[in-house]
Chains A and B, each alone.
Chain A
């Protein structure tokens, strides 16, 4: 079965501090995409960062970076210099069929991040 596990239902961080959200996944595929999505109170899904499984280099997007450990099937998200606007639900997700005909996303259960002033 292809699954995504986020073991931290809720997390809290002080403004300007760094926080890491955990994610593990299970798949027998070798090529796939991994994503972190943010869902603020507006409920709009926003792509934070993505990682192609064939790339060894960890993806970064400004204050957001990932630690991708393919052998361990781990894909954690680090948020540096946390801002109040980072408060949201964060979902880890992956597409288990890179290059295939489908873009079927499998989501984790989410981590609710609260940035405290």
Chain B
């Protein structure tokens, strides 16, 4: 089945530093990946759509310069939280549609990355 690997699962960093989160599709190609943010006991909010070979599409209110997204290959998308601050602490989840495998609009989710900014 389609598997999305997300790394790291947990990261702690100091305020002002940058953190990179990777999302890999292990057994399928993904021209599109989605990045979500989830605060404790809240829903998943779509941050941006990552597009292979082109610029990401950001949702309204999401700072492009703060959350840098790179989709350099058909199996890898990265989210970099730049100059992280405590308010950026959250759970970040990526997902990808396994097009060509199931033939249906079913997203596969990574296990998520918990970011804590001190």
Residues of A that sit less than 8 Å from B by CB: 33, 42-45, 47, 50, 89, 91, 95, 98, 102-110, 112
Closest chain B residue to A4, Cβ basis: B43
Residues on B with C-beta less than 8 A from A50 are 104, 106
Closest chain B residue to A91, Cβ basis: B43
Closest chain B residue to A10, Cβ basis: B41
Complex Cα distance A43/B109, Å?
A: 10
Residues on B with C-beta less than 8 A from A45 are 44, 93, 95, 109
Closest chain B residue to A106, Cβ basis: B46
The 10 closest A-B pairs by CB, nearest first: A45-B109, A103-B97, A107-B43, A109-B43, A107-B44, A43-B112, A103-B105, A44-B111, A33-B105, A95-B105
- Of B45, B49, B106, which is in contact with the most chain A CB atoms at under 10 Å from its CB? B106
Number of A-B contacts (CB under 8 A): 50
Number of interface residues of B (CB under 8 A): 22
A interface footprint on B96-114 (CB within 8 Å = 1, 0 otherwise) = 0100000011110101101
Min CB distance B74 to A, Å, is 16
Of the candidates B44, B105, B112, which one forms a contact with A91 in the assembled complex, judged by CB atoms under 8 Å apart?
B44
Complex Cα distance A42/B112, Å?
A: 9
Complex Cα distance A89/B112, Å?
A: 15
The reply to whether A108 and B43 contact each other, CB–CB distance below 8 Å, is: yes
Residues on A with C-beta less than 8 A from B107 are 103, 105
Of the candidates A42, A43, A47, A104, which one forms a contact with B46 in the assembled complex, judged by CB atoms under 8 Å apart?
A104
Residues on A with C-beta less than 8 A from B41 are 89, 110, 112
Residues on B with C-beta less than 8 A from A89 are 41
Given contacts A43-B112, A44-B112, contact A98 B105 (CB under 8 A): yes
A interface footprint on B43-82 (CB within 8 Å = 1, 0 otherwise) = 1111001000000000000000000000000000000000
Closest chain B residue to A37, Cβ basis: B109
The reply to whether B106 and A105 contact each other, CB–CB distance below 8 Å, is: no
Closest chain B residue to A95, Cβ basis: B105
What are 6 contact pairs spanning A and B, CB under 8 A?
A33-B104, A43-B111, A44-B112, A45-B44, A103-B32, A103-B105
